[in-house]
Structure 1
Amino acid sequence: MTRYGVTEDVDLVVIACLWWGSLHRTPIRVVLVRDLDETRPYTLALASTDLSTSDEHLVDRYASRWSME
Structure 2
Amino acid sequence: MPKTFKRGDHVSWNSEAGRVRGHILRVHTGDVDYKGYTHHASPDDPQYEIKSDKTDHVALHKGRALRLLRS
Give TM-score scaled by structure 1 length: 0.35
> What TM-score comes out, normalization by structure 2 length?
0.35
Higher CA-based Rg: 1
Higher relative contact order (CA 8 A, sep 6+): 2
